[in-house]
Structure 1
Amino acid sequence: MDSIPFRRQPTWYGGRGLFAIQDIPQGTLLHTCPAPYASVIYRVFRKEVCGLCFAYAFDARRNAWNIKLEAGSGVWFCSETCRDDWIRDENVGQLVEAMNGAIDRLAKSMEKRAAGKVVLPVSLVKPMTQEDIDLAWAAAEDASLRTDTQPGWDPVLDEMELDTVRFVMSAIVRRYIQDSAQIAPLFNSWADLLELQNNELQFYRGRPSALASHLSIYTFVRRVVLSIPALAPYLATSEMVRAILARDPGNVFGMYEMNEEGDSEMLGWCMYVSASYFNHRKCYSFFFFYLHLSRAIDCAPNIRKERSGRKLLFYTTRDVALGEELCINYIDLKDNVTERRNQLAANWYFDCVCDRCKKELETKEKETIS
């Protein structure tokens, strides 16, 4: 299409969404996310997943990719073209190499000496408040500043926490690259990322132990950045790490192998900022000062997503009317209504009230009564 056929605007139920500003035919390639703002390939898959296009070696009937940077870089590629493009576009100033090396060295050094986890200055017995969270982050920031000059205590992270460190660091590197170039793709800047829903309070209330984990991750990231001066300004406070971690839950996409045989292995996760504005819910929208009642957007969405390498592509699944919200599904639509609603509440922090869910709940209630 010659112009962008949608706009980002507030929704009536909170947050932001994408709304059609013209009628859009079925099958239209509506939007392309060329690359994630932040991403991580699980460490166990690093030799099997291309660092640029995310191609999975097993899909190509290979056990692993054999094209890599120098030893210890932690990045493998499916082709020399991907390697060269990655060096040009992603490894500006060899920052990613420096980052991966610093993470691996620090992780090994932590294993060799006594270390622990961040001790929260708040009680987890009562429901967590925003004040509790702010206090904990302030205490961690103060402690991390002291360990910068007096090394000796550092948290030991498990494998998932180390992967989260790599995810956070990839976002910091992305911001550095965009700031240095003074240009960012549409809907994929740091400012755009900050407009994503902040799920910090809901996430920590549902998973209280995650707060201590995130504070340990922040402390570790601070230590990593000590060896990468170009990134140090972004860690002067905890603000950037906290902002990334607050938007990770509910706003990221799993990176799956691209097979056509059913179950797919999750290889890592990515944050595509513009893609996160595609919601999953029934909605009504205000459009050009008129109240426009859209068709129901429910657990049968009007947009489908498709991964092509590192790109995410979004197509309309039916004709979409002007003013209608553009929605994708977040879950397996074959699940029953209870499973769907539980997943959406636990992982995306809302109760789905779409027409399909309401009808299935009514049917379930009638069956229970009878």
Structure 2
Amino acid sequence: MSLLLRRLLSTAAHGPLPIRVAFTDSAGRGVFATRPIAAGEALHSAQPLLSHPSRALLHEVCYSCLRRKPGKGGHSSGGCYFCSDACREHAKGFHGIEKNSDWSLLDDHCSLRGLKYPYMVKRLACMVISGAVGADCLDILQPARLHQGMISEMEEEFELLDSTFRKAGFQEELAAFFTKQWYINVLARIRVNAFRIELVASSYEDLLSSAIASVSCDASVGNAVYMLPSFYNHDCDPNTHIVWMQNADAKLKTLRDIDEGEELRICYIDASMDVNARQKILAEGFGFECRCLRCLSGD
């Protein structure tokens, strides 16, 4: 277990977390209650290791924390929106790398194929080059199962990224970590661990904007990858859920009373879908057949 994960498990704002992470033979990992937990109790919060705004909302949400842009005001830099000086300072290093490179070829490639995760790898690579994170910061997370068609597409994306970085003058920095295998390994982990961030509406205007975005099939403000939330297993009838109130900081809460020793599970997808739709999406997107009690009952 990584030092970062140990620290996350040992302390919280209100004392020790009421959970433990276990590595099991069946699922490979799991999060369990260390004491009875009441319905609605906050388990913990988590800041993202990596986040990226939706392409459609690049100028409407914070480049750093994904907070929505208010009606007026805000800070901008290089065409991006920052909700505060703190966020602008936090992103200063990797934003400088990202804004000074020409990403048009990658943009065209991703737009044509409807891809979003290559942008997250691009962001991570910029963070590594700037020294904000280590190249191995996602290695502890579970990767997706890849088939040859996916790998071939990833190799094409890698070539676009590699060419762009080198044209921008980062040959020396790339030599230390940026290989085709690194790109594939990182993207494989992002594919199954990235959360779709949908902020809770704080006003009528936000609610209206969210409704319009939902109609246009882009209700999320972006995507983010976390450490501890990525260790929660799936259930189509979950006992825990994640909410995002103002930005990409995730808050995990229980949906019902939890017994000591009970596994805490979240739903990776839209739980309102029927069993066939859920099984299809989980198999194709996450690489497993769900055998939770709800699916086994045919609900």
TM-score by length of 1: 0.64
Distance 1:258 1:24, change over 3 A: closer
3-state SS in 2 of match to 1:327: strand
* 1:25-44 pair list within 5 angstroms: 25-34=38-47, 36-44=48-56
Distance 1:102 1:8, change over 3 A: same
Distance 1:44 1:26, change over 3 A: closer
Distance 1:252 1:48, change over 3 A: same
* 1:202-241 pair list within 5 angstroms: 204=147, 208=149, 210-226=150-166, 227-228=169-170, 231-241=173-183
Equivalence for 2:109: 157
3-state SS in 2 of match to 1:98: helix
1:85-109 CA-to-partner distances (Å, cap 9, x unmatched) read 12322223xx3222232143xx26x
Equivalence for 2:81: 76
How far apart in 1 are the matches of 2:132 and 2:89? 11
Unmatched tracts of structure 2, length 5 or more: 1-13, 202-206
* Of 277, 288, 295, the match for 1:350: 288
2:248 corresponds to 1:310: yes
C-alpha contact 2:197 2:248 (8 A) present in aligned 1: no
3-state SS in 1 of match to 2:119: helix
Equivalence for 2:204: none
2:22 corresponds to 1:9: yes
Equivalence for 2:8: none
TM-score by length of 2: 0.78
2:139 corresponds to 1:177: no
* 1:323-334 pair list within 5 angstroms: 323-334=261-272
2:274 corresponds to 1:320: no
2:139 corresponds to 1:194: yes
Deviation at 1:55, TM superposition (A): 2.8
Equivalence for 1:267: 221
2:34 corresponds to 1:21: yes
* Of 192, 199, 205, the match for 1:250: 192
Q: What's the % identity of the aligned pairs? A: 24
1:240-266 CA-to-partner distances (Å, cap 9, x unmatched) read 222211112221111235335785412
Distance 1:28 1:103, change over 3 A: farther
C-alpha contact 1:38 1:174 (8 A) present in aligned 2: no
3-state SS in 2 of match to 1:326: strand
* Of 68, 92, 98, the match for 1:56: 68
C-alpha contact 1:31 1:313 (8 A) present in aligned 2: yes
Matched residues, number: 268
C-alpha contact 2:82 2:88 (8 A) present in aligned 1: no
Distance 1:98 1:161, change over 3 A: farther
C-alpha contact 2:42 2:253 (8 A) present in aligned 1: yes
Distance 1:65 1:39, change over 3 A: farther
Instruction: Report the more deviating stretch, 324-333 or 95-104.
Output: 95-104
How far apart in 1 are the matches of 2:188 and 2:242? 24
Distance 1:275 1:230, change over 3 A: farther
Larger Rg: 1
CA RMSD in angstroms, aligned pairs only: 2.9
C-alpha contact 1:307 1:313 (8 A) present in aligned 2: yes
C-alpha contact 1:98 1:228 (8 A) present in aligned 2: no
2:75 corresponds to 1:67: yes
How far apart in 1 are the matches of 2:189 and 2:139? 8
